[in-house]
Structure formats: structure tokens, C-alpha cells
Amino acid sequence: MKRIITLVVNGEQREVAVEPDLTLLEVLREDLGLTGTKKACNQGECGACTVLLDGKPVSSCLVLAVRAHGKAVVTVEGLAENGRLHPLQEAFVTYGAVQCGFCTPGVLLVAKALLDTNPHPTAQEIEQAIAGNICRCTGYVKIIEAITAVAQNQNI
Amino acid sequence: MRLPKFQYLEPATLAETIPLLMEHQGRSKVIAGGTDLLVALKQRLHTPAYLISLSNLAALKGIREEDGMVTIGPLTTLEGVSAAPLIREKLPGLAQAAWEVGSPLLRPMATIGGNLCLDNRCRFYNQSLFWRSARQPCCKAGGKVCHVTNKENACFSTYSGDVAPVLIALQAEIKLVGSQGERILPLEQFYTGDGRRPNLIGGGEAELLTEIRIPLSSHTGCMYKKYRLRDSIDFPVVGVAVALRLDQPQGICREAKIVITGVGSRPVEATQAGEKLTGREMRPEFILAASETAAAEIHPVRTDQVGPSFKRHLVRVMVAEIIRELGGVDR
Amino acid sequence: MTGYSVVGKGLPRIDGPEKVTGKAIFTVDVDLPGMLYGKILRSPHPHAKILNINTEAAERLPGVKAVLTGHDVADVRYAFVDTPRYPADEQPLAVDKVRYIGDEVAVVAAVSEAIAEEALSLIKVEYEILPAVFTPEEAIRPDAPLLHESQFTGTSAWEEWGAAKRVKDYRSESSLNNLSGRTFVAFGDVEQGFREADHVREDKFQTAATAHCAMEPHGAVASYEPVTGKLHLWLSTMGIFLKRYNLSRALKLPISRVRVRHSYVGGAFGGKIDVFPYEFCAAYLSMKLGRPVKIELDREEVFTTTRQRHPITIHIKTGVKKDGTIVAQDVKVIADNGGYRGSGPIVVFLCHGFSFPVYKVPNYRYEGLAVYTNNPIRGPQRGHGAPQIRYAIDSQLDLIARDLGLDPVAVLLKNIRHKGDVLPNGDRLNSCGLQECIEGTAAGINWSSKRWQFAAAQPLGRFRRGVGISLCAMFSGAMYYPFASAAMVKLHDDGSATLYTGTQEMGQGSYTTLAQVLAEELGIGLEDVRVVAGDTELTPVDLGSFLSGGALVTGNAVKLAAADARRQLLECAAEILGVGMEQLATRGKKVFVREDPQRSISFAQAIQASVFKRNGNPIIGTGSYKGYPETNRYPSLAKGKGLFTSAYGFAAQAAEVEVDTVTGRVRLLNAVTYHDCGFPLNKTIVEGQVQGCVSMGAGQALSEEIVLEKGQLFNPSFLTYRLPLAPDTPESLDKTANTLEPNGPFGAKEVGEGSVAGMLGAVANAVHDAIGVRINSLPITPEKVLRALEQKQKAVR
């Protein structure tokens, strides 16, 4: 049986009628058209589907959409504001932290959550924060560099 | 892989929850954080008609200390447990274990209660429906034979939760609430050792885990170490928790509890190894003896990609390492 | 270093903003009105005869629109390798039997993914189980069951392209069962060479099957317009024109009726070039139903059915002089290519192709066998043969250096090839930075102070460190028909340009580097270039982004197109300025008279003038290039003859590891790579390619392995297939040797693949240096390390 849930997605209130067996990932991609959130393993093992749920990074493929009712969801589409890239987005482009781009949305959100709570993380803290996000293209080197640059407020 | 169809029930209170568990016993699953359950549902390891969500039971969340006892609500997230100042200060071994579960993307959702209720795992069982269709269903999936051992009517699936070993070493108790009322029992009694139904409530019983209590006086030091093949995402190959009660720093051991995960159908306490230490000073030869004994007390089988003798070796090494560190003994 | 203003710099990628904002559309993001969802029923058996398939119940399920089985498409055959010698052996859906677990048996189209999944469970297939083989050694035995008994029918793609028809079945040339490909090459006199050697060593190495792990799962969206007869496809692919060719042929549609449209590809690494049944099925279902159909594979299907790296057993016998000079080498490889041929004949050819360009070996014999087994199919994966063969050869060379008490770095330097060398097949090394790479790498890893081999005694702590080095070679595109690329450059009234290229952006940065090539050649900025790519209707042909041909082949085509546009631009400017073209120069988007710089017009003015004066012609430049221009000596897979590539990329890589001798865990602490890429068109992108290669190579050296038991894949997930995570990232030094390849655009050649290969040998050699014992199979797991240490201790006692 469908039920109506209310989500605050990227600052905007959205109502969706969902079956209980839908994941938040499926609702974001299929009902709300927010395809920036990626499905890569669908089992919570890769981080590509990461969104911020009430500020915390979670694998949206393991969240029942009905359980996100009343919560704030931030997806990659919500990072840039007023046509301006978020500093992390800017740094990811500048430092070459993006290659194929499929893991990028998830990594960006994890990085945002990290810097929101810990503005000046060590390299090790960065590695640990993104330890649930798999990237096959970059070997993580430039991702770590980009996050470090933002944390150190370097000119990017 | 989509989730199977189910009815979603979201009781508002504990009092509403128990009757639902009763009513739908055998065809329902309880969902706390959902990080393990949803994968199992996608793989069609379970196809419950009802999912009973605990997310509204606010009373089952939170951490508090009173009368030398730390009480943790089972719906507290693993991230919450690992970050709580009280736990970090007084039960660092528990904080460590909670921090080492899964990946940073799972810990904000996964709960400590859910982790205690983690189903046993096996390389023949934790696979998709298609994968499993290549052979007869195994014992754990309702069939007759265990594919790991080729034995009939026995399941050798492995318990691989990180938190239970620490809590058992700390002599934690849990409260279970059911239609008959509540009962309090030591956590180790929660685990059955039967791979098919590894704990008292995981098989769909009409009882709920509602509280975890940890006495602070049981130990003077506790530590958890996890060996996994990568530093994130992976389950433990082996995890070892040790709680020691020393009469004084680097003094004589009054009590030692050594509990190991990843090596059997339940969290395995190496009781003889613990006894080897009891009444002893923290000296290398006693530590060595205890670690050798611990390695001999476990009987791992090949339920993941790692062989039993490697696990035994790791247990020997890790038990000794932890005791040395807790006892302040140099190598 | 040179006076370039656009190429050579680490400019930000032009696809970056779309990708960081979530706006980049990948195939799996394509959503069309009325779209249906397809799901594939697969064989749970490694080898079985299909007796009967009952689809009635599935067809009756509400929401199901079609169910297809092999009988509906029995006459279709295709394959990545489809030559007269090795004709296509794959069919979209199994007709008579299944040959591996995961083989496609039926496909369903339904109004939702959930209904399609449910419908699969209603299809009943009756199988008769057949005996199966799981190792190539078993499979070639005379009593082994045959996977493919009958003749392959039909005309191969190569015959369609004009290659001579072969009458004889290649299998009649050998007594071995289940052979799917064989390469044999010899030069010099290998037996005489061994007689002349001072030291001869024989070793056997074994590599593991590994997964590509592109983060985007494979998918296809097909939309057929019944009225116009046109099929639109969105594919997760590395080569839109190769896919178009193969699919149009399989679907019996004229090539002009098939359009592969632009979508980004979320990583490929070799795993998205073969034609896959799901692609054919999506297209066929859409044609049958007149509605769009999407098929997206789940992660387990990706692991199981979209190809893996070939596990290969490599026997090497090498003879050397006392000083380490190689005098003879005899290499035998046997590769398991699974239930279908995949790229079997290519990988055993490439194991030779990536072996012989590195060392001068006067007497050499190579035999490679690719063999059918009832395992999953193997195909190209980053390096394609190079990781396996480089690991084996350089591991053995490290052992030989130890035997002789020589420094491996000195042995490498003694044997490597140099610029100007002509290889036995006729390929000439117009650039070769091996020496520079080795020297840079050895310095970068602190070789002389960190190599324990020469220390009197290594400290006996729990954690032991060691260093190792290995080399690699890679083609820059290959010389097989029609490995060619064309490009078009259209100029605009405002002085900017649009590049039309058939390349596909899959993470490698091709849109950016090609735009840089255009900008440099034409004399504009990167911000002045827009790229239209990845669409077979809008762009000229480009066979695909594989075999590392992107920079050299496509890059040259783009450079020629830009030069053509520039010539036209200058023509127009010369007319306006009233001087000869030869008197003109350009700077800052202006054309001026060299002797009188005041006399100038802007690019925009010149282009506008062209529009006005030339009946609206805005200036369109074209260019085309193929792997080895001006020759028709195509390489032979079977004999290794013909020319292979016009430029070899090279690299030297060193690793420093720390081995925990108590738990067996190996950590890669430092990785140093010097890659001879000729010239880095984009410094940041080149570094990114190398870093990605290093990570993949390190993973495959230490933890990655497809685990199979009786053809069943036990770790089809990111939880159990252990590719590196962020905490595994080593300190890395990634440098290039800029040898300026004369055949490459601005001197550029391969960079995206080779550096996987050197990591395997570098890590294996470093582990040996650290613990004094050799592990002859990959990956080097903690269990193997402990076992090796135990055996070493036993041997000491």
C-alpha cells in the first residue's frame, strides 16, 4: 500500500507516494528525477548512492524511503548554490579528482559531511571518512588532495 | 535487485510492538537500522510478509550511566556509540568495536542492537537467489546439507559481529521483552551456537531486545582488535575482545574474559585461555600460554575466503598482543 | 617546456562541472517515456544442454510484454574476435546449451523492473547437466568434454571487411581439445641460445582472474522508431562505432538505421568493448515491441558475465650470460578464456606483444594458448596481457639477478631496448624512454639505500620493508583494420570552435585532451572549444577508445582536422589582408602579417569573412588517421607477424612494501612510476591515469581475485572482491618521461594502461626483497605470505 511521505530534498519540500519496498535511492532517481545519486552496487558496499540524511552521509540504497519521511535529504544536485559550485566541487574539478564521475557525487557528499563537522581534518581522517566510497579511476590520490585543499582553504 | 513486497508496520510504542510480533510471528522481520536486513531481503534470504519497524521507539535510543552501570538503548546507532564521550572514556574497547563495523556510510544507520542480532554469515549463504539456485539449498536456507562441511542437518555459518565480543567480555546483560514479560540475561546466553538461528530472537521470535547493560566494575581494561583484509567495509576475518581485571596496574590478573568473533557459529569465549591467566602476573610466558590455548579452543571452518589455520594463527597473535597491551607488558 | 600554451598543462577537465553537479547523464540515467525494463534469465549450470524452456507462466504475468529465448534469435552470432580464423562463437541467448554459470538463456521485457524480475522466476528451464572443465590444463586433454563441438557458421566481420575467407577450421591444426586461440612466434635459435648461456632458469607463474570494477554497471537503452525504422541506442561502451557495426550486423539493420547516442561512461577499463547479449536483447525487444527498453545489469551480473582478466599460467625459461645479458628466452602461456572465446586469441598474442618490445632477446620462442573452459568469459582488461606477462618476466629477471648476485636495476639497464631499435616484426621504436624511466624510478624509490638484497643482514623485526622494480610496454592503438579515427573541426563566427569526434568519454579525459590538441593547433584557448562526441550520427568514425589509441590515433586525427581548419582560416585572412599565406602568423586569436604585425584581423573576423565570401562556409576542417599509417601489414594473431603499433608507451615502476611477518599483511607504502608517454597532453589527466593504474595494479598484486569453485563465482560483490579503498593509498610519485614520439600529436602516445602492468612485478619483487622468499602466484595474500615464510623457516632448519 502506498503512503505519502514528505522529504525536504535540497531545501525543497517534496511529497511522494511510495510503496514501502522502495529505497530512498529508487525514489530519488525514479520519482524525483535526481539521477545524480548513483546506483553501483545496491548493497551498501560502495558509497556511490551516498546522500546526506539529516546531515549524515548514508547509503541510500539501504534506506527505505518510508523511513526518510520528515527528514532532510541533500543530494549532489543540492551542493551548488545560486549557480556557484561548492568549494569541494570546485576543488574536485581543479585537482583532477574526477575521472569517470560515477563515484563523484557520493564522495562529494561524504567530504561535505566531514568538513561540516571537522573543518580541518588530517590526511588520515580524510582517508577514513571516504573509506566507504569506492573509486576505481583515481586511486584516491587526487580526491584526497582536493579535499585537503578545501580543508586548508587553499586557493583553488 | 529490488526489494520483495512487504507490508510495513511502524508501531509507536514498545507496548504496540510486542503484539505485532506475536501476531505476525514467523512471517515478519524486525527492522532497526536495516543495513544488514535490506541486503538480505534483496538477496531473497528472507521474504517476510511484514516488516516491523522500530524507528518510532524513541525509548530504545540513548546511553546513560547510573550506579556503576552503563545502559545503552539498542537503537543507538553504532556511530552514536563510538562517538559518545561516556563510552569513549569508560568503555574505549566498545567505542573501538563500534567504530570498526562496516564503513562510515553504514554506522550512522546501523544500530548496536542490530549488530548484536547480526545473522551468521557464510560464503554459500550470503549470495543472491540466482547464485544459490546453482545448488541445493544449504541447511541455513532450509535445505539439508551444509555445503562447507558436507554434513547433514548442521550449519556452520559464522558469527561475525564486532560488538558482541566486547560486550560479552565486559559481562554485559541484555533485556528481552516479550508477551510473557521481560527477562534479563547475560549476553552470551543470547547466542545459541546454531548457525540456522544464531540468537534467541533472530528467528522471528516474539521478543525484542530493549536494553544493553554494562557493568563498569567488571574490568580494569578492555580492548578490541579486528583483523580484516581491508581497513573498511569488510567483516572481520577475526575479531578479538579481551577484558581483564587486574588487582593493580601490571599486577595480578583476577579475571580474564577473551571473546572472539569470526571463528564459530557464535561469539566464542576462550574460557580456558582466560583461566590460564587468572591468578597470574602479566608475564610473557603466561600470556603466550593463554594465546596458545585460545587458538586451540576455536574451531573455524571455511565460511569465507580465509582458511581455518590462518584464523587460528591470527587468534594466537591477537590474543597475545591485546593482553600485552592491557597488561603493560613489553614484547 | 616547449612554447605550447594549451597542451602540456594540467587544465581542468571540460566534463568536470557536469560531473560534480550530478548533471552528467550516464546510460543508466536515461529515462524515456513508455520505457520497458528488461531482465535476463541466466544459466545456473556451468555446462548443460537445454532440453526445454517453458515461458508461458512468465508471459501471462500482468505487465510482461515479451519473453524471448534462444530460438527466437538462433541465427545471430557475434563476438569481439570475429575473423576468418576465429569466427564469432557467441549468441545472444543460448540455443542448444549453456557453457558457463551466467550464460544468457531468456530475456523478459516488462513495464517495471520488479515485474521483469518476478517474471524470470516463472520461466522453467529443463537442463541436462553435462560434464564440465574448469582449468585449461584439463580442458585441452583428449578426453575433455568439448564446449564448442560444431563448425562456426556465417561470414566473419573481417571477411565482410575484405579479409580472405579461410576454408580450414583452425581446430584441425592442433590435437588439443577446446583450443580457442594460439600464437606462436620464434626468432633466432633458442636452443643454441640456451647452450651459450652461463645460467638458465625455469619458473612458473600464475595470475588470477580479476574484475574491472567500473563503478557504473553495464546498461543499455534502446529505442526503436517503427515508422522510420531507426534504432537509437544509449550504451555504456568504449567504442560507439564498433558497437554500432556489430549490433547493426546482428540485428540485420543497415548501419545508417542505428544511432548510438551520447551518454557518459562510468569507467570501463576494457570491460565495455565486447558486444554483450543485454545490448542485443534491449535493441531486439525494442524493435519487436516498438517501445524503449532499458536493461541495467546488477553488480553480480557485472562481475559474472561482463568479462574478467584472463588468469594465465606462464612458464618461462631464460638463459643469461654472467653479467645478466639475456641470450635466450622460451615463454609458454596458457590462458583460460572461459565458456566463449572472448578475447582469448588476442590476449595470447598480446602477451607476446608486450613481452618482446622491452628487452633485446636474440633467441626467442613464444607459444600462447587460449583455452575454453566452463568458467566465466574473459575479455580485455586494462593492459590486456601486459600485467600477466610483465609480472612473470620481471619476477624471473629479479630471481636471475639474485642468482647471479647482480643488481636488478643494472640487469634491466643491460637488456632494455632503446630509441631507434627495430623490433623483430618490423616495428621501429621512434621513441623509447626506458632507460630514463628506470633511472628516475630507481632514484625516486631510493633504490640503492632501500634494496635489502645487498645488505649484509636485514634487521629481524616484525615489519620488514623491501623494494622491487618492473617495466612495461603498451601499444598506442594497434594496426588492425579499421583502427582509424576521423575528426571534424567547425569554426564559429566568434572565433571559437566545435570538435566533432567519435571518441567516448569514459573517465580517461579524452574530451579534454582532444580539445587541447585542437586549441593548440588552431591557436585558441581551451575555453573556446566545445566538444560534440559519443554520437554516431553527429561525429565522424572512431573505432573506439581501446588499446590506448586515444591520444595517438584520435589525437592525430583531431590535430589534422585543426590544421585543416587553420589552413582555411589563413587562406581567408590572406585574401583579406592581401598577402600570401606564407607571410602570416597567428597569436592571441589574431592573424597578422609577420613583417607588419599591425596589419591583422581577428579569428572571428576571418571566420565571418569566410561565411560572407564563401557562400556561408564557416570553415570546417577534417582529418583522419589510423594506427599505423601508410601500411597494409596488419598483425597476425596466430603468427605475430605484421606491424603492431606505430608507438610503444613504456614505463618503469617501483614499489616499496612493508610486510607484517606476523599477520602476513603486505602494505604498499610507496609507488613510483615513470611513464614514457611521449608528451603529456594534460599533466593532471596523465597523472590521474597513472595513479588509477597504480591503484589497480596494487590491488591485483595484493588482494584482488575472482574466486571460482566449479565455475561458480564466490565473490561477486564489492564486499568480497577486495579492490583498494582510500586507506590503501600509497605515497606516490608519478612522473613522465617526455620522449616526444614523432608519430604522436605533439609527441604524445600511450599512458592509460601500461602502468597497471609494472605494479604487479614491482610489488612481487619488493615482497621478495622484504622477506627473502618468492611467491609465484597472484595475488600475494596474507595466507600465502605466511605459508611462504613457514616454508622458508623449515628449509633453514
Q: Encode pLDDT of B242-251 as tens digits.
A: 999 999 988 9
CB A69 within 8 A of CB A77: no
Residues of chain A neighbouring C299 (CB-CB closer than 8 A): 40-43
Q: Could you please state the CATH topology (level 3) that the domain comprising C16-23+484-626 is classified under.
A: Aldehyde Oxidoreductase; domain 4 (3.30.365)
* Beta strands C484-491; C497-501: pairing state: antiparallel
Report yes or no: C637 and C341 within 8 Å, Cβ to Cβ.
no
Judge whether residue B228 has pLDDT over 70: yes
Chain segment C736-793, per-residue pLDDT in tens: 999 999 999 999 999 999 999 999 999 999 999 999 999 999 999 999 999 999 999 8
Structurally, what CATH architecture does the domain formed by C312-478+634-796 represent? Answer: 2-Layer Sandwich (3.30)
Confidence of residue C482 (pLDDT cuts 50, 70, 90): low
The pLDDT value given to residue C229: 97
Cβ-Cβ contacts under 8 Å, A1 against chain B: 7
Which member of B7, B51, B104 has the closest CB to residue A129? B104
Q: What is the pLDDT of residue C293?
A: 98
B266 has a pLDDT exceeding 60: yes
Give C106→chain B minimum CA distance, Å: 14
List, by residue range, all CATH 3.10.20.30 domains of chain A: 3-77
Looking at CA atoms only, how far is residue A44 from chain B in angstroms?
A: 7
Give the DSSP per-residue string, C703-729.
Answer: T----EETTEES--STTTS----GGGP
In this complex, which of C18, C28, C507 lies closest to A137 when CB atoms are compared? Answer: C507
Examine the pLDDT at C168 and tell me if it is beyond 90: no
CATH of C31-132+214-268+272-305, one of 3.90.1170.50, 3.40.1160.10, 3.40.50.2300, 3.30.450.40: 3.90.1170.50
Query: Domain map of chain C by residue range?
Result: 16-23+484-626, 31-132+214-268+272-305, 312-478+634-796
Interface size A-C, in CB pairs within 8 Å, comes to 175
What's the gap in Å between the CA of A93 and the closest CA on chain C? 5
CATH number of A87-151: 1.10.150.120
How far is the first Cα of chain A from the last one, in angstroms, to the nearest whole number? 50
Chain A contacts of B108, Cβ < 8 Å?
A: 53, 56-58
**Tens-place pLDDT, residues C304-360:** 999 999 999 999 999 999 999 999 999 999 999 999 999 999 999 999 999 999 999
Candidate from C42, C114, C722 with C-beta closest to B130 = C42
Is the confidence at residue C55, as pLDDT, over 90?
A: yes
How close, in Å, is residue B254 to chain C by CA atoms?
29
Taking only residues 673 to 712 of chain C, the set having a beta carbon closer than 8 angstroms to any beta carbon of chain B reads 703, 707, 712
Mean pLDDT of chain C: 95
Q: In the predicted model, what is the mean pLDDT of residues B45-62? A: 96
Residues of C in contact with A45 (CB under 8 A): 717-719
SS3 A69: coil
Q: What pLDDT is attached to residue C291?
A: 98
Are B305 and C727 an interchain contact pair (Cβ–Cβ within 8 Å)? no
- pLDDT exceeds 80 at position C84: yes
The shares of helix, strand and coil residues in chain A, as percent rounded to the nearest 5, are 35, 20, 45
What are the strands of the beta sheet with A56-59, ordered from one edge? A12-18, A3-9, A72-74, A50-53, A56-59
Model pLDDT, residue B3: 97
- What's the average model confidence in pLDDT over B188-203? 94
Q: What is the DSSP letter of B216?
A: S
pLDDT of residue B56: 96
Residue-wise pLDDT tens digits, C15-50: 999 999 999 999 999 999 999 999 999 999 999 999
Rounded distance, CA B114 to CA B125, Å? 19
- When pLDDT is cut at 50, 70 and 90, the band that residue B259 belongs to is very high
Neighbours of chain C (3+ CB pairs under 8 A): A, B
* Joined grid coordinates for residue A80: 551548488
Res. B26: pLDDT tops 60? yes
What phi and psi, each to the nearest 5 degrees, are found at residue A20? -70, -20
Average pLDDT over every residue of A65-89: 97
Sign of the C-alpha dihedral, residues C240, C246, C252, C255? positive
Asked if B47 has any chain C CB less than 8 Å from its own CB, the reply is no
For an interface test with A, give the residue of C13, C15, C20, C513 to mutate (most A CBs within 10 A).
C20
Q: What is the mean pLDDT of residues B155-160?
A: 97
Q: Compute the average pLDDT of residues C163-184.
A: 89
Q: Assess whether pLDDT exceeds 60 at residue A156.
A: no
* Residue B104 sits at the chain C interface (C-beta within 8 Å): no
Distance from CA of A80 to the nearest CA of B (A): 22
Least confident interval from B199-208, B299-308, C152-161, C781-790: C152-161
CA C413 to each of CA A106, B190, C228, C236: distance values in angstroms, whole numbers, following the listed order: 45, 65, 63, 42
- Residues of CATH 1.10.150.120 domain(s) within chain A? 87-151
Does the pLDDT of residue B213 top 70, yes or no?
yes
Which chain C residue has its CA at the smallest distance from B304's CA? C720
Q: Model confidence at C546, in pLDDT bands (50, 70, 90)? A: confident
How do residues B91-138 score in pLDDT, each as one tens digit? 999 999 999 999 999 999 999 999 999 999 999 999 999 999 999 999
The answer to whether B119 touches B128, Cβ cutoff 8 Å, is no
Nearest Cβ partner of A44 from B4, B7, B106? B106
B61, with CB counted inside 10 A (0-12, 13-18, 19+), is: middle
3-state SS class at C365: strand
The C-alpha angle with vertex C485 and arms to C512 and C261, in degrees rounded to 5, equals 65
B-chain residues within 8 Å CB-CB of A17?
A: none
Query: DSSP letters of B245-291?
Result: EESSTT-BEEEEEEEEESSSSSPEE-HHHHHHHTT-BS-HHHHHHHH
**Average pLDDT rounded to a whole number, residues C493-518:** 97
Give pLDDT tens digits for C627-670: 777 777 778 899 999 999 999 999 999 999 999 999 999 999 99
Write down the pLDDT at residue C163.
79
Indicate if the pLDDT at residue A26 is higher than 90.
Answer: yes
Q: Which residues of B touch A26 (CB under 8 A)?
A: 2
C376-395 pLDDT, tens per residue?
Answer: 999 999 999 999 999 999 99
User: Can you give the pLDDT at residue C160?
Assistant: 84
Contacts of C729 in chain A (CB under 8 A): 127, 139-141, 144
CA-closest candidate to residue B56, choices B103, B9, B112: B9
Collapsing DSSP states into helix, strand and coil, what is residue C564? helix
Count other C-beta atoms under 10 Å from residue C571's C-beta.
Answer: 16
CATH superfamily for domain A3-77: Beta-grasp domain (3.10.20.30)
pLDDT > 70 in chain B, percent: 100
Length reported for chain B: 331
Confidence band, pLDDT 50/70/90 cuts, at residue B331 = low
Neighboring chain B residues of C727 at a CB cutoff of 8 Å? 230-232
